[in-house]
Structure 1
């Protein structure tokens, strides 16, 4: 049986730490990637520091007791830019509040990966293109507000399978 000195145990822990850090901060990495796509003239995102262990101390981010991001509340924040696929990595997200900003571009298909999402408020932006069919996978979704954008096309048939959807 091998014996370890305190130094060798510390060395082994330090070798593993970067991997633990990366996995525990995946939500922070996703939010920081979003931050890099946005223009923020009022500095509402100034607390978003990617070097922290997790984003639970950031303004406009709410976490549960397990330090998992459950709410992103940037409604009426005067931010602009495009939404990226990284938002789909926020697997525990329940509320996505991005209403009344200057967001443009297409709505990412990856938002359809947010299985715990209860409410998605993207209204009052400049989003364009179609509503992603992947939204049909959001079985927990109750509120989907996309009005006052530049969306085109029909509402995807897949949304008719959302039994909990109360507001569209």
Structure 2
């Protein structure tokens, strides 16, 4: 009898272990994939344990009352490496704060899937390539700071449809083409576009612009 009970108890423990390992959290998985891409010399991401059911106990991650990730704070963390499409899986994210690190490569177009995003701060990195046109889908976005990177290409016209956008900073990049003149762009100060030697527009030169080099 005792032997049967022991066998049954062991079977229950096995089921529990299987249930635990299979109760994956998509947001936790996405963040763990991001971590595997990055170089973290000061162990800022040490608490990002993929064996936990959800990432709400991790440092630099904030969740709402339903254990959904709404904020990622990794500013000034001495982290380097590429960003990946997995960030687009954080569907409830409202604040993406990755400023003043050494992130490199292109900005993933999948960030355009973050429909609840209010603030995106990617400034002060080594990001290259173009500003994704998919950012035009971020209708809740109020703050977009991409300054002090190595971004190229033109400013996507899709950004002019972001009626809630209050702050835009793309200064100190290598952008080209013309600056949109409608939507929220009517209120952005000229400093938002400083130090882009190939960027032209009525706001900058008072002339009908040409897309030199774009």
Provide TM-score, normalisation by structure 1.
0.89
* Structure 2 Cα separation of the partners of residues 77 and 14 of structure 1: 37
Unaligned runs of at least 5 residues, structure 1: 1-6
Unaligned runs of at least 5 residues, structure 2: 1-7, 169-214
1:107-146 matched pairs, under 5 angstroms: 107-146=107-146
Q: Which residue of 2 aligns with 1:78?
A: 78
Q: Which residue of 1 aligns with 2:101?
A: 101
Does the CA-based 8 Å contact 2:21-2:51 persist in structure 1?
Answer: no
Q: Deviations over 1:67-98 (max 9, x none)?
A: 00000000000000000000000000000000
* Structure 2 Cα separation of the partners of residues 93 and 15 of structure 1: 30
Q: Which residue of 2 aligns with 1:21?
A: 23
Q: How many residues matched?
A: 157
SS at 1:30 equivalent? helix
* Structure 1 Cα separation of the partners of residues 17 and 76 of structure 2: 43
Q: Deviations over 1:141-160 (max 9, x none)?
A: 00000000000011100000
Kindly indicate whether structure 1 or structure 2 has the higher relative contact order, using CA contacts under 8 Å at least 6 residues apart: 1
Q: Which residue of 2 aligns with 1:166?
A: 166
Label 1:36 to 1:19 Cα distance change in 2 as closer, same or farther (>3 A).
closer
* Structure 2 Cα separation of the partners of residues 148 and 122 of structure 1: 9
1:17 shift after superposition: 3.3
* Structure 1 Cα separation of the partners of residues 166 and 78 of structure 2: 28
SS at 1:39 equivalent? coil
State the 4+ residue runs in structure 1 displaced beyond 3 angstroms.
13-20
Provide TM-score, normalisation by structure 2.
0.70
* Structure 1 Cα separation of the partners of residues 21 and 130 of structure 2: 38
